[in-house]
Structure 1
Amino acid sequence: MLTNSEWLGINELSLLIHGTDTIRDMQRYFLEALRNIVPFERAAFFLFHEETGGLLVLQSPFCIHMNPEIVKAYGRLVNTNGICRRVISLRRTMAYRSSDLVTPDEEVTDSVTEVRKSFLLPNEVSFYSGIVLADDRKLLGEVVLYRTDRQRDFTDNEMEILDRLKDHLAIRLRRERKECQVQQHEKDQEESQLIAMGLTPRESEIASLVMKQYSTEDISRHLVISQCTTKKHLHNIFAKLGVSSRLQLMEAIRTWERARE
């Protein structure tokens, strides 16, 4: 049975999950706050991107006391190891712990041995637990908590805490993914319109950022190109659209868009 302080922690974490502005900040604040009611020594919170063929790519990881190489190793195991894929392959939101994943008959199998030799032992991990996050059988992300021999296995109470939080996390990630999809669709539409005006895809990206009033420095930083390259693209854009300033460029694009409505 959960204590009053644990219920209070769950309520505070639920508010944090839904109320934090960015996903990156939510990942960080969630792990830091979770540690107060479910202690751990290492942790990772990452998002999933599923490529054609089912390959899972770990994105935007936020880690506590973990080397990025450890996360890469886990990313490989998620795609190749039967034990690591056991929960992932269910494609539903759920909390789990390692001691529930492996039966006594599986203790000496190749899958278990590989996980121990290539991941658990080198990182001094004795117990791990986590939450798989999914929506409509689409994988969204995962929270993984690790403990060494200095801590015991995750208790039933701690698993109930994770279980109470899992749906809040899945809802937040689902909302974020849908918002990103809408934004990407709007971006694609805008850039396709600019391409129809005679600009290249890169020029369309830059023109789109000009419409959002990005400075030359901001555009260069956003696209990871030099300011000199940005200026060359802007010169070509001005020449193609017959304008000589950013204001004229913006008005030309707006005029073209009105004519297409």
Structure 2
Amino acid sequence: MAVLKETEWSTINRVLLELYEIRELNQLTEKMLKVFRMLIPYSQGYFLIYDPEGEIDLTYSSFLEMDERTFNTYTEMYYEKDYLRLVFELSDGTITYRDTDIMEESIRKKTEFYREFLWPNNIPYGLGIVLRREGRLLGIINLFRSGELGDFSDKDLYILEVIKDHLANRVAGLEEPACERSGQRTIETLERAACIYGFSQREKEVVDCLVKGCSNALIGEELSISESTVKKHIYNVYLKTDVNTRTQLRALLDKV
């Protein structure tokens, strides 16, 4: 087991205390990226939050030293090719990982993801946490190092191991209130949206649940309809508003 200095333990303890004082999910993701940089030097990083349907929610996600072009390239072209997906899709709980532990290094360097994304952007080394609660993917923290900084150490991995369960608990604890706050829409707002986009009464009810962060299953329970019917209404809402995700729908309603 890696050995931490007394000053490092002191920093971790202070971080954990502050962690439970944070009241906004986007503040949590932004702060933790900065905190990790004090404990673990890295070049670029992101903290992604996922909504109940498994989509990346940019409203609450944060990035450090990663420009919009790099992130868009990743999500649009390489997200599906990232070998890290083997980790977060197959994991049952919250886990830590180091890229060079996922597969043999000679094989890793031959992957399309490494050759076309990691190496050209000089971020060949990765370390992070997959956050899960009751089987559901809550978020992913991914820290990258340049070739000059070199690979992450066992101690770096251990620091994340110490923090990971506290972080998963806090994300889960903040998620529901954050969704409720982001979903508080007046009747007038929904009525205006219904007039603009031609929502039916049932579609208005579904939209109200969607922006509150309810899963499809919960919407079905709330409205006493099947999950397949919920999906049909969501499809119609997306079609009428020309959006593809809940995040885009919330942003659209903020402008109504």
Q: TM-score, with normalisation over the residues of structure 2?
A: 0.66
- Aligned-partner residue type, residue 56 of structure 2: V
Give the equivalent residue in structure 1 for 2:140.
142
Give the deviation of 1:100 after TM superposition: 0.3
Looking at structure 2, the residues matched to 169 and 78 of structure 1 have their Cα atoms a distance apart, in angstroms, of 27
Conserved? CA contact 2:44–2:65, under 8 Å: yes
Unaligned runs of 5+ in 2: 196-200, 209-251
Give the equivalent residue in structure 1 for 2:10.
8
2:144 aligned with 1:151, yes or no?
no
Sort the Cα spacing of 1:182 and 1:66 in 2 relative to 1 into closer, same or farther, 3 A: closer
> What's the CA shift string for 1:96-138, capped at 9, x where partnerless?
1111011257346xxx521123310221112111111111111
Give the deviation of 1:147 after TM superposition: 0.6
- Aligned-partner residue type, residue 103 of structure 1: E
Conserved? CA contact 1:44–1:66, under 8 Å: yes
Looking at structure 2, the residues matched to 141 and 77 of structure 1 have their Cα atoms a distance apart, in angstroms, of 20
Give the deviation of 1:160 after TM superposition: 0.7
Secondary structure of 1:57 counterpart = coil
Secondary structure of 1:132 counterpart = strand
Secondary structure of 1:44 counterpart = strand
Looking at structure 1, the residues matched to 31 and 47 of structure 2 have their Cα atoms a distance apart, in angstroms, of 11
Q: How does 1:182-197 map to 2 (within 5 A)?
A: 191=187
> What's the CA shift string for 1:173-229, capped at 9, x where partnerless?
1112233466688x58x859x99xxx6665899xx9xxxxxxxxxxxx97314xxxx
- Aligned-partner residue type, residue 106 of structure 1: I
Q: How does 1:109-258 map to 2 (within 5 A)?
A: 112-180=110-178, 191=187, 202=194, 223-225=254-256
Greater length-normalized contact order (CA 8 Å, ≥ 6 residues apart) = 2
- Aligned-partner residue type, residue 133 of structure 2: D
Sort the Cα spacing of 1:145 and 1:82 in 2 relative to 1 into closer, same or farther, 3 A: closer
Sort the Cα spacing of 1:166 and 1:76 in 2 relative to 1 into closer, same or farther, 3 A: farther
Give the equivalent residue in structure 1 for 2:94.
93
Secondary structure of 1:169 counterpart = helix
Give the equivalent residue in structure 1 for 2:247.
none
The one of 24, 30, 33 aligned to 1:31: 33
Looking at structure 1, the residues matched to 179 and 64 of structure 2 have their Cα atoms a distance apart, in angstroms, of 29
Looking at structure 2, the residues matched to 143 and 107 of structure 1 have their Cα atoms a distance apart, in angstroms, of 20
Sort the Cα spacing of 1:28 and 1:35 in 2 relative to 1 into closer, same or farther, 3 A: same
> What's the CA shift string for 1:75-110, capped at 9, x where partnerless?
3467522612111112421111111011257346xx
> What's the CA shift string for 1:9-55, capped at 9, x where partnerless?
2112212221122111222222112211111111111211364xx6x
Conserved? CA contact 2:108–2:114, under 8 Å: no
User: Which structure has the greater CA radius of gyration?
Assistant: 1
Secondary structure of 1:142 counterpart = strand
Give the equivalent residue in structure 2 for 1:57.
56
Sort the Cα spacing of 1:92 and 1:129 in 2 relative to 1 into closer, same or farther, 3 A: same
Conserved? CA contact 2:23–2:174, under 8 Å: no
- Aligned-partner residue type, residue 65 of structure 2: H
Sort the Cα spacing of 1:33 and 1:122 in 2 relative to 1 into closer, same or farther, 3 A: same
The farther-off stretch of 67-76 and 136-145 is 67-76
Calculate the aligned-residue CA RMSD, in Å: 3.3
Conserved? CA contact 1:16–1:26, under 8 Å: no
The one of 32, 42, 45 aligned to 1:43: 45
Sort the Cα spacing of 1:177 and 1:155 in 2 relative to 1 into closer, same or farther, 3 A: same
Looking at structure 2, the residues matched to 31 and 104 of structure 1 have their Cα atoms a distance apart, in angstroms, of 27
- Aligned-partner residue type, residue 42 of structure 2: F
Sort the Cα spacing of 1:104 and 1:25 in 2 relative to 1 into closer, same or farther, 3 A: closer
> What's the CA shift string for 1:136-157, capped at 9, x where partnerless?
1110111111110221211111
